[in-house]
Amino acid sequence: MALLFSLILAICTGPGILGSFSRVRLVGGDHRCEGRVELQQDDEWVTVCDDYWNMDSVAVLCRELGCGAARKTMSGTVYGPVTPKDQKVFIHLFRCNGIEESLSQCEREDAIGCSHDEDAGAVCEAIYTGPGILGSFSRVRLVGGDHRCEGRVELRQDDEWVTVCDDYWNMDSVAVLCRELGCGAARKTMSGTVYGPVTPKDQKVFIHSFRCNGIEESLSQCERKDAIGCSHVEDVGVMCERPESVRLADGPGRCQGRVEVKFQGEWSSVCQAGWSFAAAKVVCRQLGCGRATLTRRGCNKATQGQGAIWQRKASCSGQEVSLQDCLSEVWEHNCTHNEDVWVECEDPFALKLVGGRSHCEGRLEVLHKGEWGSVCDDGWGQDADRVVCRQLGCGQPLSPPVKVRRRFGPGVGRIWLDDVKCSGKEPSLEQCLHRSWGYHNCNHREDVAVVCEEQQSGLPDA
């Protein structure tokens, strides 16, 4: 008996078995989203013990694989014998709470005495269900509306655009889509037929409907259900906040700055005398920033407006979705740009440079869901450096040698972003293209470091 226990223990804890892994897959099922759970360690695949394995674990795994909703937890033995026969069992068990984005983020415990009779299996929603019809998409757009933030919802699959069925579609779904497109607040869900016929006529309908809870950052993160019997009569349409109707200008980030309103095609600053903290709350909400923390007048010369001053007075309760929803009246005033309104909101997407001699150099870290994490250098370039330097209120990016960047050291904990691609004109790094939050194939040796000139933009006078 002691010998048997030693042999079983050796399966879990013998030489060459590491506590880290690079990839995960499901093996032996009817499709890629079902099967025995296997992890890749170095050059071999290992199985996972089913102690503590439950639907929370399956939910995380399905999310990581891009397989939609969790369906069932299974015994791995259902999917046939392991291959090769000497395949090992992973040294750790996973204890997930269901909200993690990958198994690597779950808590772990030592796997003691596990054998292949206890291999874990999983069934997720089948993403790929037929030739030519894919359950994944690369881009989303709104078509046929008066501006880019209104129209029929279309998703990009390979080389074609497909529409979305309105089953389960509601204002939570609209909120997620508007957030993904950088279009501010959700206004209305519409029938896609309002925006004209589909082009071309043989355009497909996406194979899944979306069930969002409203807090996701993109449609790809929402739960999905099979779209059965949908036609273009049921195409979804959306109306988001009209873009660029209000902005915060000349601040250290998109959530701080001089309030400007677009009126009759022209950006105008706002006078403090016709303003309130309730109006500041509305602006912060409309811009997708956090709560309002400051509103004041008296920007210094570097941050004063140069053009028109808004000729209206906004009367807000603070609960409105956008500034356009506030009561307003034409207001004759004799304000000057010395009275321009400055507003500061909490920025849900904050960033900082750490490990340097000032806030303008160091390893880049971004704040997401209350946790700081690093950024992988895959796809990173000087245009991205330029965006970071601008957002931090620093000067132009410098191009120091690699050894200088490395002196800031590797990060620890989360790697939040990967494959970041910027044009250099974005006001905030969050508006650059990047993979979904937490998805990467990097380690901390690839953390981004940035060095900027130490030139700050103007801030409000005390």
Whether the per-residue pLDDT at 249 is higher than 60: the answer is: yes
Is the same domain home to 7 and 113?
yes
> What is the rounded average pLDDT of the residues 315-330?
80
199 and 270 share a domain?
Answer: no
Verify that 256 and 234 share a domain, yes or no. no
Mean residue pLDDT of the chain comes to: 80
Q: How confident is the model at residue 299 (pLDDT cuts 50, 70, 90)?
A: low
- Confirm if 423 and 379 have CB atoms less than 8 A apart: no
| Domain end (from 124, 151, 175) | 124
Q: Are residues 120 and 210 in the same domain?
A: no
Report the CATH number that the domain containing residue 46 is assigned in CATH. 3.10.250.10
Residue 306 has pLDDT above 60, yes or no: yes
Domain count, the chain: 4
* DSSP result, 230-287: --GGGBEEEEEPPTTSEEEEEEEETTEEEEEEEETTEEEE-BGGG--HHHHHHHHHHT
391 shares its domain with 422: yes
> Distance between CA 13 and CA 91 in Å, rounded?
6
389 φ/ψ angles, rounded to the nearest 5 degrees: -60, -45
Neighbours of 65 (CB within 10 A): 17
Of 230, 217, 228, the closest CA to residue 431 belongs to: 217
User: Is residue 75 exposed (0-12), middle (13-18) or buried (19+ Cβ within 10 Å)?
Assistant: middle
- Rounded Cα distance between 239 and 237, Å, is 7
| Distances from the Cα of 355 to the Cα of 352, 404, 409, angstroms | 10, 12, 7
Whether 331 maps to a domain, the answer reads: yes
**How confident is the model at residue 266, as a pLDDT?**
79
**Residue 132 located in a structural domain:** no
Question: Looking at the structure, do residues 260 and 314 belong to the same domain, yes or no?
Answer: yes
pLDDT of residue 457: 44
- Name the pLDDT band for 346 (thresholds 50, 70, 90): confident
Asked if pLDDT for residue 262 goes beyond 90, the answer is: no
Q: Which of 123-127, 231-235, 452-456 has the lowest mean pLDDT?
A: 123-127
Residue 173's H or E segment, with its range, is helix 171-180
Q: Tell me the C-alpha distance between 244 and 99, whole Å.
A: 33
Q: Which residue has the higher pLDDT, 56 or 66?
A: 56
pLDDT confidence tier of residue 6, bands split at 50, 70 and 90: very low
Q: 12 and 86: one domain? A: yes
**8 Å CB contact between 173 and 153:** no
Question: Does residue 9 surpass a pLDDT of 70?
Answer: no
Q: Nearest to residue 304, comparing CAs of 337, 329, 331, 328? A: 337
d(CA 196, CA 206) in angstroms, rounded, equals: 18
Query: Final residue of a domain: which of 184, 208, 240?
Result: 240
* DSSP secondary structure string for all residues of 427-450: SSGGGSB-PSTT--S--GGGB-EE
Cα–Cα distance, 1 to 160 (Å, whole number):
62
- Kindly report whether the peptide bond that precedes residue 200 is cis, defined as omega within 30 degrees of 0: yes
Q: Give the mean model confidence (pLDDT) for residues 411-440.
A: 84
Calculate the alpha carbon distances from 105 to 63, 94, 355, 423 in Å. Answer: 12, 9, 25, 31
Q: Report the run of H or E that residue 140 belongs to, with start and end.
A: strand 139-144
Contact yes or no for 250/209 (Cβ under 8 A): no
DSSP letters, 98-137, are: S--SSGGGSEEEE--S--GGGBEEEEE--S--BTTB-S--
Decide if 460 is inside a domain.
no
pLDDT at 399: 81
Q: Check whether residue 167 and residue 251 sit in a common domain.
A: no
443's tokens: 């380690």
- Residue 457 forms part of a structural domain: no
Is 130 inside a domain boundary?
no
Query: Mean pLDDT lowest for which of 12-21, 101-110, 113-122, 236-245?
Result: 12-21
Range of the domain at 79: 2-124
- The per-residue pLDDT for 62 is 87
In a domain, 283, yes or no: yes
Supply 360's token pair: 């303008």
Q: Is residue 129 predicted with pLDDT exceeding 60?
A: no
9 and 115 together in one domain: yes
Give dist(CA 109, CA 357) in Å, integer.
40
Write down the residue that tokens 């915060």 correspond to. Answer: 248
391 part of a folded domain:
yes
Distance from C-alpha of 449 to C-alpha of 362, rounded to nearest angstrom = 5
- Residue that the structure tokens 């500061």 belong to: 344
b/e per residue 175-194 (b: at least 16 CB within 10 A): bbbbbbbebbbbbebbebee
177-218 confidence digits (pLDDT tens) = 988 776 767 888 988 788 888 877 778 888 788 888 887 778
Domain final residue, candidates 240, 257, 289: 240
Asked, for residue 133, whether it belongs to a domain, the answer is: no
The answer to whether the predicted template modeling score (pTM) of the entire model surpasses 0.85 is no
Same domain, 11 and 109: yes
Enter the DSSP assignment of 30.
S
Residues 251 and 233 in one domain: no
Q: Three-class SS of residue 385?
A: helix
| 176 and 199 belong to one structural domain | yes
The type of residue at 76 is: G
